[in-house]
């Protein structure tokens, strides 16, 4: 038997995303979600997670959108004076290379604060991944791994997708239009550097935020794997357009989010995944 994990990232970032996760978990194939604990709609997401018990909940580490969970004075390289995050993926990577000692301390503070915040809601994460894939930055990964051991969290997402297998099943132009190939190469280099292994195959870095029902029907898991995680970003942008004040990431307004919701509502789309 192959374990199929269909995981919704960004749970808690907006009302529309939360509604989409509820729909996908109740009426579709969504069986996992990654919670952002430092967003305006985090508590709404927690209520949904308890109403949809079939959803396994992980932690979506967030170091780029909104405000830190740790106090601002403890993470000055990560935030401004008010505790608002100020760095993107590239700048975080550079800071870990240029100021590793200071960053090590501050990353630890924020990672642990987010884990404890999740536990405050009586939720024990079954996995950890990162908004913008920040968990793949080597120093971040090392600190996350130690915290996962400390708090007994079973799995960290590794971006181990095989680009040649994806091209074979989805077409050689997969990832070209949305820059997925570039993102893949950056994260693949980090995966090779980390030299870590996981029993779970990852899919969709080439289709990040662009998974359609057709794409889902073409997914095939490579023969050597017995588990696959399919990353999706379902949403309801029409709902979120009514609440622009509460949005920390304009990407959630993309119509692609609605298409990803349609994909996870198709209960038959993964019937051939192991063929």
If you write DSSP's letter for every residue of 121-137 in order, what string do you get? TT---SEEEEGGGGGGS
Q: Rounded mean pLDDT of the chain?
A: 94
Give 131-165 pLDDT, tens digit per residue.
999 999 999 999 999 999 999 999 999 999 999 99
- Average of pLDDT values for 229-246? 91
In order of 70, 181, 250, 261, the CA distances from 208 in angstroms are: 29, 11, 15, 13
Is-above-0.85 flag for pTM? yes
Nearest to 183 by CA among 250, 104, 88: 88
**C-alpha radius of gyration, the chain, whole number:** 18
């Amino acid at each position: 038997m192959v374990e199929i994990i269909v995981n919704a990232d960004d749970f808690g970032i907006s009302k529309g995303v939360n509604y989409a996760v509820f729909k996908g978990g109740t009426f579709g194939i969504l069986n996992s979600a990654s919670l952002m604990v430092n967003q305006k709609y985090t508590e709404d997401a927690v209520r949904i997670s308890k109403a949809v018990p079939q959803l396994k909940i992980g932690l979506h580490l967030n170091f780029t959108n909104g405000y830190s969970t740790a106090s601002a004075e403890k993470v000055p390289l990560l935030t401004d004076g008010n505790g608002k995050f100020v760095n993107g993926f590239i700048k975080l990577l550079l800071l870990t290379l240029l100021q590793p000692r200071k960053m090590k301390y501050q990353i630890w503070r924020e990672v642990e604060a987010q884990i404890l915040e999740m536990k405050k809601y009586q939720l024990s994460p079954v996995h950890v991944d990162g908004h913008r894939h920040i968990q793949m930055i080597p120093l971040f990964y090392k600190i996350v791994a130690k915290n996962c051991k400390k708090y007994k969290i079973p799995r960290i997402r590794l971006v181990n997708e095989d680009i040649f297998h994806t091209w074979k099943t989805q077409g050689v132009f997969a990832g070209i239009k949305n820059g997925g190939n570039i993102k893949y190469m950056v994260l693949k280099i980090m995966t090779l550097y980390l030299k870590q292994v996981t029993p779970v195959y990852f899919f969709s870095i080439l289709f990040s935020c662009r998974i359609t029902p057709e794409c889902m029907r073409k997914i095939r898991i490579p023969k050597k794997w017995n588990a696959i995680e399919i990353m999706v970003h379902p949403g309801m942008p029409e709902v979120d357009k009514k609440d622009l004040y509460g949005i920390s990431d304009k990407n959630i307004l993309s119509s692609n989010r609605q298409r990803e919701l349609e994909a996870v509502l198709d209960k038959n789309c993964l019937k051939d995944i192991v063929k």
